[in-house]
Structure 1
Amino acid sequence: MELTTGETFTGEAEVNVTAPGPWWQVTGGEVISGSNLISRIPQSCALSPSCTDSLILNDPISNRPATAIYNDNYDFSSTATRGTVSATNQWLVRAGTRPNIYSYAFFDNLSSGKNFNTLPPNTTVTTGVVNDPASVADGGYYWYRTSGNVTIGSPGGSNFININRKIILFVDGNLTIYDGPRLNNFPNDFFMVVVSGDIDVDPALVSPDTSTPAIQGIYTCDGTFSTGTNGVDDGILVVEGSVAASAFNLERDLVNENTDTPAEHFIYSPALISNYPSALAERHLIWREVAP
């Protein structure tokens, strides 16, 4: 049907409104991609007072964003434009080389000589397991090692496990997170997981809003970090800490809530970094000429 100037239409017409696609966001932390860096934030976000249409939100303490580094291409908008990386649209860097990926073997080599607490293969990690009074500490940290298909919590569990100490967990295999690790005291507690395979998050593990974490800690894996999906209408996943992986599969889709809410929100935690064990830091030699 076509109307010309001065004509009006008084009939009925069916209008189909399609919900925007899912997207993700970061607060305060650096984002690094060895390939493309894409989060197509919908135009409707800019119209909502509760939504900020940029990839990285300012750190609440410094009120500054962090850097986004990509190698091939970037896109932070669902429109024809490529959107903004931050409120000032600064700190976006295209690197000419791909970043180093710190693998399971790298961390395993650095941790050699540590007194590990060995868990059975295919173990289920619970609050009782990681806070076992019989476990032995080394350098103020509790080091755990296990293998196989390991889970944190179990389906239909408590949705969280309490971390009451500084814990590093090595998993030579795959990890599924059913219950989110929660640190009781950020200045004193720490949680890090190093995985040789994939990390999968159960889609039932959700956050009530974009500021309440379902998972806390530092997570690294040689494989893919997948956020999980119900396939219909997912809940928000908020991770407070850091995640490093060879690939990311951000699967969640909030459907109608995509208009002003990211499906995944990663919040940088300075407290976790300040408690990072020096034993797992890169070692650099300093050469000095010494007089004979």
Structure 2
Amino acid sequence: MTCRAGSDQFGCYSGACAGTYNCAAGACSAGKICQAGACIIAAWWQVKDADLISQGDIRSTIPSSAYKLIDDGEGGYPGIAAYSGTISVGSGTLSSKDWMANITPSPYTGRKYDYEYFTGSVPPEVFTDPKYAIDATINVSQLKNENKQRPDGYFWNYRNGDLSTNSNLIEMSEKVILIVNGNLTIGNNITVENGVGFFGAIVKGNLTLDPQISHPNNPSLEGIFLTDGVFATGAGSGRLYLRGSVIAWGGVNLQRDLGGNNSTTAAEYFEYAPDLLMTFPRELLRKGKVWREIAP
């Protein structure tokens, strides 16, 4: 079998294909998926107003020069791509400014802001008082039960083991923190009232999203999500629009695929949310010393 060049600039096999192949005109390469009789464009991802930081490569098979990997934010500027390996953006461009930085050494040797670090700053009673404990499967609205609210105004929740959530939590005005000493599966949309509400998940294991968490134009998931394991978006055909931040020390598994809509739409879209930093709990902020010279 051979590949031929099409008018859409993607190669296709001219004969029948057993399965799906990656190819370009005349040769195989990543991002050009070919099937018999039709060109299927590979799924890709995109961010808005956000920095990208990777200890390895950054890759998104953007299908057209009309799209950027990092869209400008409301202030008119994109984020920075920092990486230790290589950057590949397919037929697209990096950003309006092409800001990038190669980081060394690799692997990262600085302070690791992970599950252990953040749980070391959590009020101790969250781990010992039964009122903060939650079951293995919960309706997500249970995370903001009144008895879980501390004097700081935040609703603290702790699961010692794996956790799965269900049902939606939309335009939440409360501030909720979820700590999971295990794996977390989020099975529902979670959004917050911008500048008022907060949602944060701190996970020891893997963090997996249900494929039904999706929306074509608006955020279907908002918050700050930190996992020591892998952050997996869930295999499905609906677009994931996440507004917030993702920190995944074990890597990110991008599993969405929009099929024919891949030609114009990113399967995963991550938007930076600066208001979440303003509502971030003070207990979890980095503590530092301030040195001042004073008169003797």
Counterparts of 1:136 and 1:216, CA distance in 2: 20
Pairing 1:85-100 to 2, within 5 Å after superposition:
85-88=94-97, 90-97=98-105, 98=108, 100=111
Q: By how many angstroms is 1:244 displaced?
A: 0.6
Would the aligned equivalents of 2:53 and 2:81 in 1 still touch at CA under 8 Å? Answer: yes
AA aligned to 1:215 is: L
Q: Quote the offset at 1:38 in angstroms.
A: 0.8
Question: Residue 206 of structure 2 aligns with which residue?
Answer: 198
User: Counterparts of 1:57-68 in structure 2 under 5 Å?
Assistant: 57-59=71-73, 61-68=74-81
Structure 2 Cα separation of the partners of residues 115 and 204 of structure 1: 31
**Larger RCO of the pair (alpha carbons < 8 Å, separation 6+):** 1
Q: Does the aligned pair in 2 maintain the 1:131–1:164 contact within 8 Å?
A: no
1:260 is aligned with what amino acid? Answer: T
Mapped to 1, the partners of 2:180 and 2:294 lie a distance apart of 43
User: Aligned AA for 1:191?
Assistant: F
**1:256 maps to amino acid:** G
Among candidates 216, 225, 230, match of residue 222 of structure 2: 216
Q: How does 1:49-198 map to 2 (within 5 A)?
A: 52-59=66-73, 61-77=74-90, 79=91, 83-88=92-97, 90-97=98-105, 98=108, 100-113=111-124, 117-127=131-141, 129-153=142-166, 158-160=167-169, 163-183=172-192, 185-198=193-206
Give the direction of change, closer, same or farther, for the CA distance of 1:271–1:110 in structure 2 (3 Å limit): same
**Change beyond 3 A, Cα 1:251–1:100:** farther
Which residue identity does 1:69 align to in structure 2? A
RMSD, aligned CA:
2.2
- 1:276 Cα offset (Å): 1.1
Contact 1:36–1:74 at 8 Å: present in 2 too?
A: yes
Say which SS state the counterpart of residue 110 (structure 1) adopts. Answer: coil
Distance 1:123 1:100 in 2: 33
CA contact (8 A) 2:132 2:148 kept: no
**Gapped regions of structure 1 (runs ≥ 5):** 1-12, 47-51
Cα deviation 1:27-60 (Å, max 9, x = unaligned): 11111111111111013xx4xxxxx42110000x
- The gaps in structure 2 that reach 5 residues or longer are 1-13, 16-35
C-alpha distance after superposition, 1:79-129 (max 9, x if no partner): 5xxx421023x21111113375421111000114465642234131421x1
Query: For residues 277 and 110 of structure 1, what CA distance do their matches in structure 2 show?
Result: 10
TM-score normalised by structure 1 residue count? 0.80
2:126/2:158 contact within 8 Å kept: no
Query: What TM-score, normalized by structure 2, do the two folds share?
Result: 0.79
Q: How many residue pairs get matched? A: 256
CA contact 1:125–1:150 (8 Å) conserved in 2? no
> Does 1:266 find its partner at 2:264?
no
